[in-house]
A and B are shown apart, each in its own frame.
Chain A
C-alpha cells in the first residue's frame, strides 16, 4: 500500500460546513418551521414545569378565589406525617416502591434471557418476537380488565384451574403477586425488543475471539455479551424503574386499589388529590417529591453503572 492518498470524497456533509446556498432562504424561514412545535412546547412543557413548582408553594384549592403563598408549608405538612393527606401519600409512595422493587428486576432479567433465546438464527424468530411483544399493544385498560377476571377469587380461571382459593385481587401479599405477574405478562416483550436490537450490534468477532481463548458459554455471556450491551442495559434499567414507578392502571383495574386502598400508588393518590379533589397545592408538592425521588433513583442507577462498568 502506498501512502499517497487521494482524498476519498467523504460523503458526510456536516451541517457545520454549510454551503453558501443555505443563505438564500429568508432569515425567518427557520423560525416558521420551529414555531408550531415550540409554541406547544412552551405552553405544555416549559410552563408546566414552572407552574408545578409555583403551585406547590401555594395553598391552592381549585374553585376558591385566593391562592395564598405559603412557602414550603405543603411540603412540611407532607413530611411531618401527621395529616391524613400525609399518611395516605406516604402509603401510596410505599405501594409504588414495593411494586417497583418487585417488578423491575424481573422486567430487566426475564426479557434479557428471552432476548438471548431469540438472538439466534432459526426459522420463526421474528414470529416469536412479534408474539411476545403483542400484549404490550393492548394497553393497560384491556390488560387490567383481563387480569382482574383471570385472578378473580371465585370466578377466575387461575384459581379454578389450579384448584386453589387465593384472593389475588383483594388481599396482600397475594395482590402484589397478581400485579407483578400481570405487568410482566403485559410488558415482557417491550424490553425484549430493545435488548434484541442491542444484541445484534455486538460484533460476532468478539465471540469468536472468546471461543478461541477457551471461554465457555457463561464466560462469553459475562465477558462479551453483558459488556457489549452495557449502555442499553442501563437504559432498560432506567426506563423500567420509571415505568414501574408510574404504575397506575394495574392497581386501578386489577386490584381496584384493594384491600381498602392498600394498593393505591403514589400517582393514583396524586391524581385523586389534585384532579378529583381539587387540592392543587398539595398534589403539586407530592408530584415534586415523587419526581425528586425518581431522579434520585435514576442518578443512583447511573452512578452504579459507572462504578461497575469501569473505564468509560
Chain B
C-alpha cells in the first residue's frame, strides 16, 4: 500500500471505531449520572458529578432483582449450552462414524429442518411447554431449542475429517465405542465443541422474545426480559436503564474478550442466526 491509501484506510477505520464505541460510551456515562442530570435538557458527554446512585438503586430495590436476573440468565445459558453440546456431540459422532439403518434419512431429516422458518416453532413450543407445566420455569429456557440442526451439522463435519487410523489403534488397544468417543474423539473435537458451546451460550443469553412471553414472575426473569420490564416501569429513568444495560453488558463482553476466537470462528462458518 502506498502512503495515501494507508492514511485513508486508517482514518476510515478509526472513524468507524468511534461510531461503534460512542453509543457504549454514552451508556456508561449516563449510568454514572444522577437522575436529575440524566433528565437535564442539555447533554454532557461526561457526568458532571459522577455518582453510583443508579447502581445503588438498581442493586438494592427489591422490585428490581437485577442480580437474580443475572443469575437466572447465567444458569440457564450455561445449562442450555451444556445440553446443546452433549446432544450434538453424541448424535454428530454417530452420524459421522458409525453404520446403522436409516443413517442417511436421519441426517437429511435434521438438515431439512434448517430450512424451516423459525416462526413455525413459536406457538407450538408455547403449547408443548405449557402442556409439560414448564411455563415460567428454567426448563422452558434450557430445553426447547437445544436439539437444533446446526450443532449436529457443524460437529459432524469435524468428526468426518478425523483420520480413521486413530480409531483403529484405540480399538486394537481394547477401547470400546464409548472409549473411542470419549478418549479420542471428544478431545480432538475440543475446539469445535468450544465454538458450539460459546455460540449456544450467547444465543441463550441474548434471547429476547421467548423469555419475555413465557416468564411472568419477576423472580424468574432473565436479564433481557428483566430489562424490558424495567423499561416498562421506568420509561424515562435513563440513569437507571443505562446502569441496567451496563450490568447486562459486562458479563457478555467478558465472555467475548475471552472467547473471541471461538465466537468469530463459529460465525465465520455460519454459526448463529437471529
Q: Which residues of A contact B (CB under 8 A)?
A: 11, 13, 15, 18-19, 21-22, 24-26, 29-31, 33-34, 36-38, 40-41, 43-49, 51-52, 55, 62, 114, 117, 120, 122, 124, 128-135, 137-142, 144-150, 152, 154-157, 160-161, 185, 187-188, 190, 193-194, 196-197, 235, 239, 242-243, 246, 248-249, 252-253, 256, 267, 270-271, 274-276, 280, 283-284, 287-288, 290-291, 294-295, 298
Whether the Cβ atoms of A40 and B171 lie closer than 8 Å is: no
Q: A312 vs B185: C-alpha distance in the bound complex, in angstroms?
A: 36
Q: A129 vs B265: C-alpha distance in the bound complex, in angstroms?
A: 12
Using known A-B contacts A114-B16, A134-B256, A294-B117, determine if residue A34 contacts B1 with beta carbons closer than 8 Å: no
Whether the Cβ atoms of A287 and B122 lie closer than 8 Å is: yes
Q: Which residues of B contact A149 (CB under 8 A)?
A: 26-27, 30, 238, 241-242
Q: Which residues of B contact A135 (CB under 8 A)?
A: 20, 23-24
Closest 3 A/B residue pairs (Cβ) = A139-B206, A48-B124, A141-B224
Whether the Cβ atoms of A243 and B274 lie closer than 8 Å is: yes
Q: Which of B16, B23, B98 contacts A132 (CB 8 A)?
A: B16
Nearest chain B CB to A255 CB, angstrom units: 12
6 A-B pairs whose Cβ atoms sit less than 8 Å apart in the complex = A44-B144, A137-B252, A139-B208, A187-B274, A190-B267, A270-B122
Q: Which of B19, B123, B227 has the most CB of A within 10 A?
A: B123
The residue in chain A whose Cβ has the minimal distance to the Cβ of B180 is: A25
Using known A-B contacts A15-B97, A49-B120, A249-B209, determine if residue A280 contacts B127 with beta carbons closer than 8 Å: yes
Q: Which residues of B contact A37 (CB under 8 A)?
A: 87-88, 90-91, 147, 152
Q: Which listed segment binds A: B47-55, B59-67, B161-169, B188-196?
A: B161-169
Query: DSSP majority for the A interface?
Result: helix
The residue in chain B whose Cβ has the minimal distance to the Cβ of A236 is: B270
Whether the Cβ atoms of A47 and B124 lie closer than 8 Å is: yes
Using known A-B contacts A122-B1, A140-B206, A194-B270, determine if residue A134 contacts B253 with beta carbons closer than 8 Å: yes
Whether the Cβ atoms of A274 and B23 lie closer than 8 Å is: no
Q: Which of B91, B176, B241 contacts A34 (CB 8 A)?
A: B91
Whether the Cβ atoms of A196 and B209 lie closer than 8 Å is: no
Say yes or no: is B108 at the interface (Cβ < 8 Å to chain A).
Answer: no
Q: Which residues of B contact A (CB under 8 A)?
A: 1, 6, 9, 12-13, 16-17, 19-21, 23-24, 26-27, 30, 38-43, 86-88, 90-91, 93-100, 106, 109-110, 113, 115-128, 130, 143-149, 152, 160, 163-165, 167-168, 171-172, 176-178, 181, 202, 205-206, 208-209, 212-214, 223-225, 227-228, 231, 235-236, 238, 241-242, 244-245, 248-249, 252-253, 255-256, 260, 263-264, 267-270, 273-274
Whether the Cβ atoms of A270 and B119 lie closer than 8 Å is: yes
Q: Which residues of A contact B245 (CB under 8 A)?
A: 142, 145-146
Whether the Cβ atoms of A271 and B181 lie closer than 8 Å is: no
Q: Which residues of B contact A25 (CB under 8 A)?
A: 98, 176-177
Q: A44 vs B146: C-alpha distance in the bound complex, in angstroms?
A: 9
Query: DSSP majority for the B interface?
Result: helix
Q: Which residues of A contact B249 (CB under 8 A)?
A: 138, 142
Whether the Cβ atoms of A249 and B128 lie closer than 8 Å is: no
Q: A40 vs B205: C-alpha distance in the bound complex, in angstroms?
A: 21
Whether the Cβ atoms of B248 and A142 lie closer than 8 Å is: yes
Q: Which residues of B contact A187 (CB under 8 A)?
A: 274
Q: A129 vs B122: C-alpha distance in the bound complex, in angstroms?
A: 34
Known: A45-B113, A51-B128, A55-B127. 16 other contacts (CB 8 A): A18-B99, A25-B176, A34-B95, A36-B87, A38-B147, A44-B128, A44-B147, A122-B9, A129-B264, A135-B20, A138-B252, A146-B245, A150-B26, A185-B20, A267-B209, A295-B115
Q: Which of B9, B24, B181, B267 has the most CB of A within 10 A?
A: B267
Q: Which residues of A contact B253 (CB under 8 A)?
A: 134, 137-138
Whether the Cβ atoms of A36 and B113 lie closer than 8 Å is: no
Q: Which residues of B contact A298 (CB under 8 A)?
A: 115
Q: Which of A29, A114, A146, A185 has the most CB of B within 10 A?
A: A146
Nearest chain B CB to A303 CB, angstrom units: 15
The residue in chain A whose Cβ has the minimal distance to the Cβ of B93 is: A33
Whether the Cβ atoms of B98 and A33 lie closer than 8 Å is: yes
Whether the Cβ atoms of B165 and A196 lie closer than 8 Å is: no
Q: Which residues of A contact B260 (CB under 8 A)?
A: 130
Nearest chain A CB to B143 CB, angstrom units: 7
Whether the Cβ atoms of B91 and A33 lie closer than 8 Å is: yes
Whether the Cβ atoms of B98 and A194 lie closer than 8 Å is: no
